[in-house]
Structure 1
Amino acid sequence: MNRRKKGIQIVKARIKKANAKLATNNKPKYISKAERETIALAEAAEAEAKTAPIDKATDATD
């Protein structure tokens, strides 16, 4: 490989790395299985808590 080609190759590699760093990442952040389970349990408890006061309010008006 001649000197000119090697220089161009190095510059192209640097440009490629810079562009990769600037590119937005559309991939969602990894959440472990245990964290997903705790989040699901928290959401279920939250949903249950939201429905519970509504039921009590309807019982009181009847």
Structure 2
Amino acid sequence: MFDIKKAAESNSVAFLMSMFFRIKYVVVISAISIDIKALLITETLLRNTRKNKSFAENPAKLLS
């Protein structure tokens, strides 16, 4: 898949660029997964709010 020794021996700039792009893709994928989790949490809270009208009237009940 990715040979670190070969890349380091052939050209250090190419090696650094390839590592940079790998890290960039990992960060983007992590951000997308965190965003999806936040959407799921928000959707769950909204669904619970619709079910429980007293929570909608008094949000402090969630904290107690």
**Which TM-score applies when normalising by structure 2?**
0.49
Q: Which structure has the highest helix share of the two? A: 2
**Which TM-score applies when normalising by structure 1?**
0.50
Structure number with greater Rg is 1
**Greater RCO (Cα-Cα under 8 Å, separation 6 or more):** 2
